[in-house]
Amino acid sequence: MSYSKNATIVLVHGAWADGSSWELVIRKLQEQGWNVVTAPLPLTSLSDDAAALRRTIDRTEGPVILAGHAYAGAVIGTAHEERVKALVYIAALAPDEGETVAQVFYRDEPHPDAPKLAPDADGFIWMPDTGFEQAFAQNATDEQIAVTRAVQRPIAVKSIQEPVTAPAWKSKPSWYLIAEDDRMINRKTQRFMAERMHAMMESFPVDHTPLLTAPEKVVDIILEAAQSTLA
């Protein structure tokens, strides 16, 4: 893949996670010769997270493919830089202009096993321990669940209540992986967002976090985006 030499794939984690959630995807992409970095988000507000993503993009050279998981869909939607050639949404939230993450997250009925989420006294939302094995990644191994629980990072209420500006998916090619067995974001909500975006869609019987449990599916859709926009 000659075009991979000067391109970078930037992977963006969602709530209750960090860059290590992409480990299996990173390894598979690097094995194929791609430059890969993750964008560390503070998860303190959507504006803060957008600024953090910009700092990561600024550290790269050449064309960029952005992939975001869950909450990070709203974050990659802020990336209007010309070097960003494609957006890849992995079971991700894609609010439209004027919408908040919370509005699209709660658009459809929750799964019976979805965790009960509420902010703490400091305005941060933590995932309950049982939420990781019951909804966040119910198909993950015990070891993956243990690590994910240990490294979880809470998200501020401000992050999900801040209205977005005009999203980049209105002007950039977009791909969307629909997680059919998602217990965090209703699959009907995912399909609604993907169709509204006019994204190229792939749908699989995977849980909310296929970067852990079905990384080959995630790699395939990222490479499809790269091959379509960088060739």
Q: According to the model, what pLDDT value does residue 5 have?
A: 64
What would the pLDDT profile of 86-95 be if each residue is shown by its tens digit? 999 999 999 9
Q: According to the model, what pLDDT value does residue 1 have?
A: 43
DSSP class of 95: P
Q: pLDDT below 70 — which residues of the chain?
A: 1-5
Give the orientation angle of helix 215-230 with respect to helix 23-31, to 10 degrees: 50
Report the C-alpha gap between 181 and 154 in whole angstroms.
Answer: 23
Q: Would you state the structure tokens that stand for residue 65, as one six-digit string?
A: 């493919």
What would the pLDDT profile of 193-212 be if each residue is shown by its tens digit? 999 999 999 999 999 999 99
What would the pLDDT profile of 48-63 be if each residue is shown by its tens digit? 999 999 999 999 999 9
Q: According to the model, what pLDDT value does residue 2 have?
A: 43
Q: According to the model, what pLDDT value does residue 6 have?
A: 86
Q: What percent of the chain has pLDDT over 90?
A: 97
Report the C-alpha gap between 16 and 37 in whole angstroms.
Answer: 19
Looking at the chain, how many residues does it have? 231
CATH code matching the domain that covers 2-230, chosen among 3.90.550.10, 3.40.50.1820, 3.30.110.30, 3.40.50.720: 3.40.50.1820
Q: Distance between terminal CA atoms of the chain?
A: 9
Q: According to the model, what pLDDT value does residue 231 have?
A: 72
DSSP class of 119: B
Q: Would you state the structure tokens that stand for residue 177, as one six-digit string?
A: 């992986």
